[in-house]
Structure 1
Amino acid sequence: MQQILKKAVFSKALLPLALAGAIGVAAPAFAADVYMRQPAPRAAVVVPSGPLTLQDALAIASGIGVVTVQNTHFDDNEWEIEGRDQYGKWIQVDIDARTGEVRHVDRSII
């Protein structure tokens, strides 16, 4: 009788232990699929005095994280530069053409 009781307790405990082990083994595989956003590295850029040229604005935008430029637009003393960052995400940088100040950075969350 004791032997049968021990066997029943062992078989009831075996299934939950096996299930917990299977979940524990699969957890690292699920964690590896998560994308962790990291801030883009910022480079030191020397801003020249006077109005910014397109090349100067592109240098500032690359310091913010723009790697590939897709569109540039100059309007109302502001350079608008659109492109992609190192992760392939869309990014737009607005730069004041008189001071070189970065007015706005818009990054894609998709």
Structure 2
Amino acid sequence: MLKSALAMAVIGFVAFAAAWPSLSQGLQRPAVSIEQATKIARDRGLIVIREIELDDGKWEVEGRNQSGEKRELHIDAGTGTVLRDERD
């Protein structure tokens, strides 16, 4: 029984070690922080930010401008370039 438990632990460790490179890629910080993305969105006229999330290398920001219009921005998380700015 001790041998089987040890074997399972070794198999689990090997599986985790094999998956580590792909797991660690998801933990890397984007070059453009959430604070910088927020500033970019505010500079583009959003005064209320409802939601901001990092997805597929871009910040997706939803909010409203001064006239109350719903807007959605996509900001490149590597460069800070606004990729999309449209009505939501």
Q: How many residues align?
A: 59
Could you tell me how far 1:73 is from its partner in structure 2?
Answer: 1.4
Residue 13 of structure 1: aligned partner? none
Task: Return the TM-score normalized by structure 1.
Answer: 0.51
Instruction: Determine whether 1:68 maps to 2:48.
Output: yes
- Percent identity between the two aligned chains: 34
Could you tell me how far 1:107 is from its partner in structure 2?
Answer: 1.9
Q: Which has the larger radius of gyration?
A: 1
CA distance in 2 between counterparts of 1:91 and 1:64 reads: 10
Q: Which structure is higher in strand share?
A: 2
Aligned mate of 2:34, from 26, 40, 54: 54
Deviations 1:23-54 (A, max 9, x none): xxxxxxxxxxxxxxxxxxxxxxxxxxx70110
Question: Hey, which bits of structure 1, 4+ residues long, moved more than 2 A?
Answer: none
RMSD of aligned C-alpha atoms?
A: 1.2
Instruction: Determine whether 1:103 maps to 2:83.
Output: yes
Task: Return the TM-score normalized by structure 2.
Answer: 0.64
Larger RCO: 1 or 2 (CA < 8 Å, sep 6+): 2
Residue 92 of structure 1: aligned partner? 72
CA distance in 2 between counterparts of 1:76 and 1:94 reads: 11
Point out where structure 1 has 5 or more consecutive residues left out of the alignment.
1-49
